[in-house]
Chains A and B, each alone.
Chain A
Amino acid sequence: MLVRRLRFPKTLSTCSIQASDVHTQHYDVIVVGGGHAGTEAVAAASRVGAKTLLITQKIQTIGALSCNPSLGGVGKGHLVKEIDALDGVMGRAGDWAGIHFSILNRSKGPAVWGPRTQLDRQRYKDFIQSELLSTPRVTILEGSVQDILLTTADPGKPGRHKVYGIRLAHGGGEIHSRSVVLTTGTFLSGALFIGQNTSPGGRIGDLPSCAGLSHTLKEVLGLKVGRLRTGTPPRIIKDTIDFSLTLIHLPDPNPTPFSFINTHTHCTPEEQLPCYLTYTTPGVERVVKESSHLNSHIQEDTKGPRYCPSIESKVLRFPGRQHQVWLEPEGLTSDLMYPQGLSMTMPHEKQLCLIREIPGLQRAKICTPGYGVQYDFVCPTQLFPWLQVKSTQGLFLAGQINGTTGYEEAAAQGLWAGVNAGRTSLSMPPVSLSRTQSYIGVLIDDLIGRGVTEPYRMFTSRAEFRTFLRPDNADLRLTLRGFEELGCVSEQRYNEALRVQMSLNDALSALESIHLSAARWKDKLGDVNISETKSSILNGVEMLQYKDVSFQMLASAFPELSGPYLEFSERLKVEAMYRPHCEKQRREMERMQAEESLYLPQDIDYLTLPVSLSQEVREILDSVRPSTLGAAARLPGITPAAIIHLFNYVHRTKHRNHSKIVGVS
């Protein structure tokens, strides 16, 4: 067999695979697509023990960054930390490929710190490809998928169909598997737009996907499909930019790695590259207006992201304003710059006119023009919380196909779909993540519970329990469960998380055991600003809640605190700060978890259900068909009374028809 396992830093471009070799093979999981969702799905499925095949159109583009050369940020950085805590690839890839690290929101609370980095595109791709090829149980195949293979559903389980593999295009034959994960990104009926030209495709320079898959999802499986759009800016030749007219933006002097198991980044502090800031001018607005009749993308009705709009829609929606443009390096040795904020779809020559209206870019040249993409997505309310299509056993969807935008959002879903595709193919029950425990849980719950009307991006404002779902404690929230329960975390990482947890607990107990009066604390710590009266008694954790008090200060006053705990100084400070608020929210969290763990049967006919529900409530339930009582409770327009009725009905039916009813798994 020609599939070879390559070691980093060998590249995959030399690796060619004959489809005929994999025909006879039977896989546990097939992942279609090699983007951020696909690569995490492959890696996760293999970590839980599934024999996994990745099929991609071009092995070279595995791990490609199609748009911005950056990773993380506020909210997105939280997702990267969680992916890493579940032993995913993205965080470590970022640490390897990062060339400009910074923690955003430093001046706000640690709960919303946003770890972020600029990436070297080539390094990122190399790391991902090498990682996948060194992962046991993974096979990679270059090819195009024509269709998924369907059969009748397993009786007694929900769903009308069951997937059993894929058919390759161009007569490539069938490959069988127990689960299939589709991560087709923008390629599902994708169309590219520049000016008035439209061509089929999901990314410039790549072939369009086969129409068969799109047809099967819509016509055979009857899935509700919507259309979204996105775009990317032109890439500018670095040498043609006059940086003296822009504002230089330096990275953090000491790069902080994303991964909990990395102590440093691949890039040294000195090797890091700066970014540059410039602004749009009235001239930019003029060019947009002059060219709008030549721009079919912006004239379409399809919903684009409100938070990642093209320069055209920014100018049209907020005229007369100055907009920021960040010039970001594409790599250590790349001769291109990425102008963040200038996503556009006007004709090529107009794009050049536009950028030349911007300070620093007056003589700039464009290497590749910006363009828009329109693509199909599957309405994610048709998925279970483990990202399986409700009506089709074994079929999982992850990434932009579910209506999200962003590498991090895609990777998070890919990981979760991979874990579950792997588990179900190995006859283990599927698992779901609570929105009380992770941003990944919030992401998936929002998608399957509310659906999307525009590309979905993660924000910290979406998380109810933001003081608990912090980037610093993602390991404690997820790594332990990932090993003990899900099997997607390595033992080495698990042991490290255990050590961290024990040390933090010990340190906090030690702090709690120190009780002193405010006056005595002042004696011990010197001049700190304590608002309490002199005689009130405070323990060490309460002292650590004061802004001016650091763990190092306490450790130097109490020798028993120094030593093993000093490496956790920052984490202890953050824990102490948020602890009282997390405790306050505990009951609300437990309520949400209880509701999330009550699954609703998928065959309920809400419109004729013989219980007292208003017509309005029936229609909402019928259109969304929530998976759990928790998802139902969060739907707008659902009353507490409706939830109780629903709950009673399902409970009664369960007792009456006990023999007829079987598990979701």
Chain B
Amino acid sequence: MHFFSSWRRSAAVIKVSLTHSKHDWFVFGRSLSVRRLLCSVGSEDDTIFALSSGQGRCGVAVVRVSGPASAHAVRSLTRGFPAARTASLRSITHPQTKELLDRGLVLWFPGPGSFTGEDSAEFHIHGGPAVISGVLQALGSLPGLRPAEAGEFTRRAFCAGKLDLTEVEGLGDLIHAETEAQRRQALRQMAGDLGRIYQDWSVRLKRCLAHVEAFIDFSEDELIEDGILNDVDAAVRQLQTDMENHLSDQRRGERLRSGVHVVIAGSTNAGKSSLLNMLTQRPAAIVSATAGTTRDVVEVPLDIGGYPVLLSDTAGLRDTTDSVEQEGVRRARQRVEQADLSLVVVDLTQLPSEPQLVPVFLRGHLKNILEQSSHRQECILILNKSDLISAEHNRSIQASLEQSADVPPACFLSCQTRDGLEDLLTLLQNRLKTLCGDPLIGSPSLTQTRHRTHLQKSVEALHQYHQYKDVDLVLAAEGLRLGLSSLGRITGRVSPEEILDTIFKDFCIGK
């Protein structure tokens, strides 16, 4: 294809609209121009994906994919390509880690007979946040795929002529609703540390770009120190490092994929194994009145409120001469050290009878069991056997605990009567939510995938800066511009005027 001839074609488009202007002040030939406008907003070469079912917990979630790489996406996540427009049950696995994400229905809609007119696919999966997040992240890891922008499926459908104008009238509302929601969501996310980090990067990158632009536009006439580009080099490199480090911190995502490690710890005979059995709703561990019954670690995978949990029961911690039990205690301590969250079970009947002394006792007890102080942060106290003491005593212990700081959240429970189980599950679920990030609140898993894509693009663009800085400063600056506009998709657009403002703040420009 000839470079010039292709440019000439775009010029011809303008020509057409100008001829129209003779007849109409609003210049476009019916819906064709509408299509041109809306359809040129996104890049149709991209394949997009999104959670298409509503937000909030649901039984079945639908993840939709549209674009040329849809078939590749289906092939990468499943085995046995499904027949067109037929629901097929498939195992869905992560393309890189080969880890099983879910079993669900996969539908294949070849273009142009699909909703968007492009090749599309749908994954109907279980509605748990871990599953949804796992599938979205798996799709995001494929080349050529990116999370859809607001209203993009509808826009593509319209571009392909699948919707008529009356249907498009509603598009404005749709996009409005989505952008409003996104804006609120973005604000919510931006308020925290993450927002501050992104803003800081944006400011630093803006300054780098401003200095390169100043060097391009003014260095021939003005006093702009030669060292300025070296400073920019260093600043860009530091930015790259910071962004890459941030991108590689996947701990939250990992927890969500492979499960949160929750360990049950405590003295012998506190009721740890009873708790395990109650939570798993089956006798996974042997329970007896004999202290030291559990000697090895018992591990059970669980789903608590949609979060994958790997729950382990450990040997009661006590000094013992039995060498098998000694090994059990050693393993228990090791497990506690590696855990994301500890459930420390305490026998209520073993507490001091004076309620005021309970907090001091518990602090000492926790210190003994958790050893490493950092783990006390990620801990829930379970005060077991509440059926064995009077309700009045329970209440006074609770009151005493509420007054004292430095004691982790506590939960009264009777493994015998199951009293307090609901409270425990709620508490547990909230802690899991913090540990994993709740993919359903404002759909951050989706947003995070979006952020991730833009951050990755930004980092790539900064590589372009280094690649070209000794060859052609304009192409190097182009890398910074691109990096800033990718980052701007998260933090807000930076206009050329702002770049000029930065230039005039930092340099005395004047002929």
Contacts and interface: CB of A to CB of B under 8 A. Distances in A.
Given A75-B217, A481-B11, A661-B26, A591 B41 contact: yes
B8 A594 contact: no
Given A108-B216, A581-B478, A508 B2 contact: yes
Contacts of A522: none
Interface string B205-239: 00000000101111111110000000000000000
13 contacts: A109-B473, A307-B510, A307-B511, A324-B222, A434-B14, A461-B213, A461-B500, A477-B7, A587-B43, A594-B40, A640-B150, A644-B172, A644-B176
B175 interface: yes
Interface string A96-126: 0000000011011111101000000000000
Contact of B40 (A509, A575, A591, A629): A591
A645 to B, nearest CB: 5
Contacts of A436: 10
B26 A321 contact: no
Nearest to A70: B511
B158 to A, nearest CB: 11
A616 to B, nearest CB: 13
A81 B165 CA distance: 44
A595 B504 contact: no
Contacts of A532: none
Contacts, number: 211
Interface stretch (B17-25, B121-129, B369-377): B17-25
Contact of B478 (A431, A467, A485, A639): A467
Most buried by A among B8, B23, B33, B176: B176
A577 B509 contact: no
Interface string B169-181: 1011101100110
A462 B471 contact: no
A66 B173 CA distance: 55
A647 B216 contact: no
Contacts of A322: 223
Interface string B34-49: 1011101101000000
B472 interface: yes
A641 B5 CA distance: 35
B27 A108 contact: no
Interface stretch (A41-49, A281-289, A596-604): A596-604
B22 A597 contact: no
Contacts of A577: 472, 475
Interface of B: 2-8, 10-11, 13-15, 17-19, 21-28, 33-34, 36-38, 40-41, 43, 150, 165, 168-169, 171-173, 175-176, 179-180, 213, 215-223, 471-475, 477-478, 495-497, 499-500, 503-504, 508-511
Interface string A623-649: 000000100000010011100110110
Interface residues on A, range: 35 or more
A317 to B, nearest CB: 7
Contact of B474 (A108, A309, A595, A662): A108
A317 B213 CA distance: 21
A304 to B, nearest CB: 10
A178 B11 CA distance: 29
A636 B495 contact: yes
B508 A323 contact: yes
A324 B10 contact: no
A136 interface: no
Contact of A598 (B37, B41, B221, B472): B37
A429 B471 contact: no
A109 B472 contact: yes
Contacts of A112: 216-217, 473-474
Interface string A197-230: 0000000000000000000000000000000000
Interface string A485-508: 100000000000000010011001
Nearest to B476: A109
A466 interface: yes
A436 B10 CA distance: 10
A611 B171 CA distance: 13
A594 B33 contact: yes
A501 B4 CA distance: 7
A461 B508 contact: no
Given A309-B510, A326-B221, 7 more contacts: A104-B220, A114-B220, A429-B19, A466-B477, A582-B3, A641-B172, A654-B26
A629 B40 CA distance: 14
B217 A648 contact: no
Nearest to A597: B17
A158 interface: yes
A322 B223 CA distance: 9
Given A340-B511, A590-B10, A73 B23 contact: no
Contacts of B215: 108
A593 interface: yes
A569 interface: no
A547 B471 contact: yes
B202 to A, nearest CB: 16
A109 B474 contact: yes
B37 A158 contact: no
A600 B2 CA distance: 35
Nearest to A664: B25
A108 B472 contact: yes
Nearest to A545: B471
Given A461-B500, A501-B4, A598-B37, A650 B26 contact: yes
Interface string A381-405: 0000000000000000000000000
A636 B492 CA distance: 11
B176 A612 contact: yes
Given A429-B22, A593-B10, A599-B26, A461 B3 contact: no
Contact of A581 (B10, B15, B475): B475
A419 interface: no
Nearest to B470: A547
B495 A597 contact: no
B223 A505 contact: no
Given A340-B511, A579-B3, A461 B176 contact: no
Contacts of B496: 461-462, 464
Contacts of B497: 450
Contacts of B223: 321-324
B37 A74 contact: no
B212 to A, nearest CB: 9
Contacts of B172: 611-612, 641, 644-645, 647-648
A495 B157 CA distance: 44
B27 A597 contact: yes
Nearest to B212: A461
Contact of B25 (A326, A468, A579, A662): A662
A312 to B, nearest CB: 11
A5 interface: no
Contacts of B471: 547
Nearest to A116: B220
A480 interface: yes
A629 B37 contact: yes
A259 B96 CA distance: 58
Contacts of A431: 18
B496 to A, nearest CB: 5
Contacts of B36: 594
